[in-house]
Amino acid sequence: MSEDFDQYDFLSVESPGEMEIDPLAGSGAFTLPSTPEPVPAPPMPPASGPFATLSVRFAVNGEPVEVPEIWVADSLLFVLRDRLGRTAAKDGCGEGECGACLVLLDGEPVLACLTPALVAEGSVVTTPEAYGEGDEVSAALAAHCGAGCGYCLPGIGLTTRSLLARQPEPSEAAIREALSGHLCRCLPPGHFIDAVDEAAKAVRSE
């Protein structure tokens, strides 16, 4: 059992009984022992008393904000979306794989889901809302990638803007590398490369 299953498989750790209703029962290919051997649950470091909270102050898109009573390990993404209502940065995987939560922290692209909110204390945070819909990058992304669901686009828009700020004429390889941190489930990468290319041309011709 412990060899066939991931050691941290939550089903085998938290509620072994649930798997008794086996969706694949009868197929013979996938049967579980009725009493799975206990797998030690991953240890939870004891919290020291009640959750320690604190307040952070930073600027979002030029507007100073103060958020009281956040937990130390609350992510910047949680604070932006759930406490401040800035929902342009999306909550994707929570593991730094998808890039949907990208924001700029003091001008540097960071993944908001992996940045503790207290790191932003005294910093300037730029969310995708800062750009609205009017600029060249948004227009190019809408023109080329409009067929997708759009969940990844706010992050891709910010990445594109910081890429074009560094390299006004990015090569295809540079575009591919810059966008490699973003996952899109809808469209093939060619659409995004065309979009960034077009945005670069539009920004240059200004």
Spatial distance between the Cα atoms of 104 and 206, rounded to a whole number of angstroms: 24
Instruction: Confirm or reject binding of residue 108 to other proteins (CB under 8 A).
Output: yes
Q: Are 126 and 156 in contact (CB under 8 A)?
A: no
Sites for other proteins among residues 13-42 (CB under 8 A): 40, 42
Instruction: Confirm or reject binding of residue 96 to other proteins (CB under 8 A).
Output: yes
Residue partners of 109: CB distance under 8 A and separation at least 6: 102, 103, 158, 159, 162
Q: How far is the CB of 169 from other proteins (least distance, A)?
A: 18
Between the CA atoms of 75, 77, 83 and 85, what dihedral angle is there, to the nearest 10 degrees?
A: 180
Q: Give the nearer residue to other proteins in terms of CB position, either 50 or 134.
A: 50
DSSP string for 155-173 = HHHHHHHHHHHH-SS--HH
Instruction: Confirm or reject binding of residue 180 to other proteins (CB under 8 A).
Output: yes
Judged by CB under 8 A, the stretch of 14-22, 79-87, 101-109, 140-148 that binds other proteins is: 101-109
Q: Which of 58, 81, 86, 99 binds other proteins (CB under 8 A)?
A: 99
Q: For residue 170, give both structure tokens.
A: 């990015």
Q: Which helix (H) or strand (E) holds 8?
A: none
Residue partners of 55: CB distance under 8 A and separation at least 6: 66, 67, 68, 69, 70
Instruction: Confirm or reject binding of residue 113 to other proteins (CB under 8 A).
Output: yes
Spatial distance between the Cα atoms of 83 and 167, rounded to a whole number of angstroms: 35
Sites for other proteins among residues 45-74 (CB under 8 A): 45-49, 51-54, 72-73
β-pairing verdict for 53-60 and 124-126: parallel
Q: How far is the CB of 57 from other proteins (least distance, A)?
A: 13
Instruction: Confirm or reject binding of residue 190 to other proteins (CB under 8 A).
Output: no
Instruction: Confirm or reject binding of residue 175 to other proteins (CB under 8 A).
Output: no
Q: How far is the CB of 102 from other proteins (least distance, A)?
A: 5
The residues of the shown chain that bind other proteins, judged by CB under 8 A, are 6-8, 40, 42-49, 51-54, 72-73, 75, 94-97, 99, 102, 108-111, 113-116, 118-119, 121, 159, 177-178, 180-182
